[in-house]
Amino acid sequence: MKKTILAIALCFGMTSAAIISISCNTPSEKVEDAQNNVRQANKDLDKANQDYLIDMESYRKATAEKIDANNKSIADFNARIAHEKVEAKANYKKKIDALQQKNSDMKKKLDDYKADGKDQWEKFKAEFNHDMDKLGDDFKSLTVGNGK
């Protein structure tokens, strides 16, 4: 029994010694590991920032194209209603002017947005997409009402 206890104690002691010797790093190794971690974190941050700026630029470009398409739709619709009755033309003109103002406001809102971080960008983009979808629906309802 004494041999068993002695053997267990010896195994436990050797295991503890091995764990302690493996986990002990010199201060210079700890500093080097910390510096490597900081370098990697900085690389990851730079990559994330670059991806964020690329996403912003591509979104701005795609949205600017939608806004330009809306302006073209407004011009086309104005040309189509030129031969309508005066009352109908005035009603359409009023609706078109409101849509044109919303479209201009959306363009200004996008142009005025400044990079405030990825979380704010995602929030802005979600809200902006919602507003653009609503504007698109308003355009569709106007053109469908005119027999398009």
Residue 80 lies in a domain: no
How many Cβ atoms are within 10 Å of 96's Cβ, its own excluded? 19
In a domain, 64, yes or no: no
pLDDT tens, 71-106?
A: 898 888 888 887 778 787 888 888 889 999 999 999
What would the pLDDT profile of 27-57 be if each residue is shown by its tens digit?
777 888 888 888 888 888 888 888 888 988 9
Please indicate, yes or no, if residue 110 is contained in any of the structural domains: yes
* Number of independent structural domains in the chain: 1
Rounded CA separation 109/120 (Å): 14
Residue range(s) defining the domain that contains residue 126 = 92-148
Q: Looking at residue 148, what is its pLDDT?
A: 43
Of 79, 60, 70, 39, nearest to 133 by C-alpha is: 70
The predicted model scores a pTM of 0.64
In a domain, 143, yes or no: yes
